[in-house]
Structure 1
Amino acid sequence: MRTGYTLNGRYRIIRSLGEGGMANVYLAHDLILDRDVSVKLLRLDLRDDPGTVRRFQREALAATELVNDNIVQVYDVGEENGMQYLVMEYVEGTDLKAYIKKHFPIAYQEVIQIMEQILSAVKTAHEHNIIHRDLKPQNILIDENRVAKITDFGIAVALSEHSLTQTNTVLGSVHYLSPEQARGGMATKQSDIYSLGIILYELLTGTVPFEGETAVSIALKHFQSEIPSVRDIDPRIPQALENVVLKATSKRPADRYTDVASMADDLATSLSPKRAGELRFTPAENDDGETKVLPASALSAAAVPHAIAKPVGEESAEAATKDATAADDQSTGKKKRKKYRHPRRRKFLIAGGIVFLVILGIFIGVALFRPQMTNVPNVIGDQETTARSALVSAKLKVGTVHKTSSDKVKIHRVARTEPRSGTQLKQNTVVDLWISTGPKRYKLDDYQGDSYASTAAKLEA
């Protein structure tokens, strides 16, 4: 969007503030209320999905109800020419990611003060049943007075279904992704608490707990690997403070804090001398829910019917009969069991083995004949030769190379691809390239002697 453009006849664009995985952000001036605002335009590829647009509008409207000093306030939600936009409070400062990089190491007391502000904001959202789903330092702004403000409550949900297919987006978010989200499960309030624990980890150590070459490799570590100890990086960190990190980032949601208020209360006393001798937090052991095979003896015992009470005389007679036949049963018992029980068990085992082999064959067949998939790499801004190499490395074919004008991409560099970057395709699929020829140029006619109105109309056209 160009500088000077007036969105909806009210918000005049001043300059671009940045481009993210989900939206382009602009500084604008509200002509009616005479104040600077931040305008976010939903990313182009997300605008094409009607379901995403509806979710974006619904969640953005819900975010307007969140009133908290630590939440970036949403002023307006609208659409113009198919562009979905949010008008938000403009915060002068930086995001928490850049703040950590610039000021690390940060004093423990300041870490707690920053986290308390973040927890206050998330608590307000959770009280309105709004889950952020994408909490990370990049979505937390720090103004000139060191006040933390969370943003993107409206956009996070619109992106949630696209994150694992959008490489540029997920690489920023996956470092803070809860194990249940990494598995593809539904995000809950405990998912936000997990992300808050990772943010606290980064405030204390200056780094994230898990790194990897791909988003998938990092996601796997979130639900397979134990979180590294912050005290191994900085032994001065009190055990009580590390315990807040460990409890918030437990693999199972049930082992985490029940709510944000509980985490805030625990964090507030983590530097207290009264907690100096605290033991390291370990999650309670619990059944992991896996199916378990019962031993045959347990099944047999479960199948025995309850004994029926008998009169004393009948009971004595039955006991005498049992005593009389005990020797015979002992000598023939093994043979009887072999004759009647073992063949049936053997049939069950054979049938079970056949079923297992059939299922195994089906899985192998599906694996062999399933098409191999790959993602279109992000080559926007790359030279044509570099882009071709990246596509070949991703096992894709280069199709037609087109020329297109662009005021954003330098000349002789890739302006766009079709299909777009991040799209999942079968291997060896053709991808077309559009190479920038630079800004579009126009040759002016000679308007000398023409009227102002007709000349203005021609220029605007």
Structure 2
Amino acid sequence: MHNNLGDKLEGTVGERYKIIRNFRYGKDLNVYKAYEVNNDKSRVPYVIKSYKTREAFEIESQALEILKDAPNIMQMIDVYSQQTIIVCECALYDLETFLSHQDYSQRHKEEGDIIKSIVSGLMELQKHNIVHTELAPKNIMYFQEKDGYTERWKLIDFDSACISDKDDVKIVTNYSAPEVIRARENGTEIKANFAMDMFSFGLVLYFLETGQHYWDGESEVAKEEMISTRHLLIDVHDPSACFIIKELLSKTIINRMTLQIFMQSSYYTGESEKKMYRTSLTILGDPILEEPTNIANNEYDSDYIRGMNDVEFRLYQQVGSWNI
């Protein structure tokens, strides 16, 4: 039932909207830019999205209906069930495109607002028991609101979204959690849960910090590193960011940082503690700690802790206190 709209809309949706061009975007290149037929003066652009299957249409339209008015979630404007088409607000660009034009200092100037927007979107999803399953830079887009002044980052693309602990994950991407990739390789089903989105969030933070994808979806070496039992090697220079990303990219789901814990971190809040850590790093010259002793209820192996620098270990102790 793949809707290939070409350059013309039929039926009721065609009476209201006119396609301007194909965005050449989406898994099936099924996303189009359009304007309202009887409102050319405003020239407000919209996105028309058609679907390969009715299931995908129903998943996304229902998710967007549930997430209506959420500030950091793409908003649905119209839905046409018979034609399996939805109309949404139109973004200016995605995070991947935006960061491709930024250097290190520019990325870090913008990252605070970007991260807070992503967290806001994830909070809405978790509040409604929804797992995105495709969180990635290309699915984080920058929108201008109808007032022409307000602009914000929002999460998009919910046609593979799942209900946590109920629905099986439907898709594997280069931002999927290792348990999802392993399940696909083993030919088994796996229920969606919030921890999967948190792993993807860790990879998004890695992309924000480095400007590079951890896994391009093709490199077998990088994939094996992601799904093996070894710890990921994180090439991030900011020690607090490095620690947080390591926690989010835990191979063990039970040890993976939750959204609630992330929101308590100084990396997220931007409190003076973060500045203090960075100052101490300069003074200490980024020493590598020997394996600490007498850590209560340590759930990490010695190699993980031995690899921490002084700043990361202080953050590790901080996270431990939050879990008590």
TM-score normalised to structure 1 length: 0.50
Q: Is the 8 A contact 1:71 1:151 kept in 2?
A: yes
Residue of structure 2 equivalent to 1:19: 25
Residue of structure 2 equivalent to 1:208: 213
Q: Using the TM superposition, give the Cα deviation of residue 192 of structure 1 relative to its aligned residue in structure 2, in angstroms.
A: 0.5
Q: Using the TM superposition, give the Cα deviation of residue 257 of structure 1 relative to its aligned residue in structure 2, in angstroms.
A: 2.1
Going from structure 1 to structure 2, the CA distance change for 1:22 and 1:256 (only over 3 Å counts) comes to farther
Going from structure 1 to structure 2, the CA distance change for 1:72 and 1:251 (only over 3 Å counts) comes to same
Q: Is the 8 A contact 2:133 2:160 kept in 1?
A: no
Of the candidates 139, 163, 173, which is equivalent to residue 171 of structure 2?
A: 163
* Alignment gaps of 5+ in structure 1: 48-52, 165-172, 287-461
- Cα deviations across residues 284-335 of structure 1 (Å, max 9, x unaligned)? 238xxxxxxxxxxxxxxxxxxxxxxxxxxxxxxxxxxxxxxxxxxxxxxxxx
RCO comparison, higher one (Cα < 8 Å, 6+):
2
CA distance in 1, matches of 2:171, 2:80: 24
Q: Using the TM superposition, give the Cα deviation of residue 32 of structure 1 relative to its aligned residue in structure 2, in angstroms.
A: 7.1
How does 1:218-367 map onto structure 2 within 5 Å?
218-224=222-228, 225-231=230-236, 234=237, 237=238, 239-258=239-258, 260-266=259-265, 267-269=268-270, 272-276=274-278, 277=280, 284-285=299-300
Asked if 1:199 is matched to 2:214, the reply is no
Residue type of the partner of 1:220? E
Q: Is the 8 A contact 2:130 2:162 kept in 1?
A: no
Going from structure 1 to structure 2, the CA distance change for 1:180 and 1:87 (only over 3 Å counts) comes to same
Deviates more, 1:178-187 or 1:194-203: 178-187
CA distance in 1, matches of 2:132, 2:207: 19
Q: Using the TM superposition, give the Cα deviation of residue 122 of structure 1 relative to its aligned residue in structure 2, in angstroms.
A: 1.1
- In the alignment of these two chains, the number of paired residues is 258
Going from structure 1 to structure 2, the CA distance change for 1:152 and 1:186 (only over 3 Å counts) comes to same
SS at match of 1:69: coil
Residue of structure 2 equivalent to 1:373: none
Of the candidates 156, 178, 182, which is equivalent to residue 151 of structure 1?
A: 156
Q: Is the 8 A contact 1:24 1:40 kept in 2?
A: yes
Q: Using the TM superposition, give the Cα deviation of residue 84 of structure 1 relative to its aligned residue in structure 2, in angstroms.
A: 2.1
Q: Is the 8 A contact 1:7 1:13 kept in 2?
A: no
Q: Which has the larger radius of gyration?
A: 1
Of the candidates 182, 189, 193, which is equivalent to residue 194 of structure 2?
A: 189
- Cα deviations across residues 112-155 of structure 1 (Å, max 9, x unaligned)? 22111111111111101111000001111124676211111234
Residue type of the partner of 1:285? Y
* Alignment gaps of 5+ in structure 2: 145-149, 184-189, 282-287, 293-297, 302-324
- Cα deviations across residues 160-180 of structure 1 (Å, max 9, x unaligned)? 86635xxxxxxxx22x11012
Asked if 1:41 is matched to 2:50, the reply is yes
Work out the percentage of aligned pairs sharing the same amino acid.
23
How does 1:359-378 map onto structure 2 within 5 Å?
none
Going from structure 1 to structure 2, the CA distance change for 1:242 and 1:109 (only over 3 Å counts) comes to farther
**RMSD across aligned C-alpha pairs, in angstroms?**
3.2
Going from structure 1 to structure 2, the CA distance change for 1:221 and 1:76 (only over 3 Å counts) comes to farther
CA distance in 2, matches of 1:84, 1:38: 14
SS at match of 1:21: coil
Going from structure 1 to structure 2, the CA distance change for 1:85 and 1:243 (only over 3 Å counts) comes to same
Residue of structure 1 equivalent to 2:179: 180
Asked if 1:57 is matched to 2:72, the reply is no
Q: Is the 8 A contact 1:5 1:12 kept in 2?
A: yes
SS at match of 1:70: coil
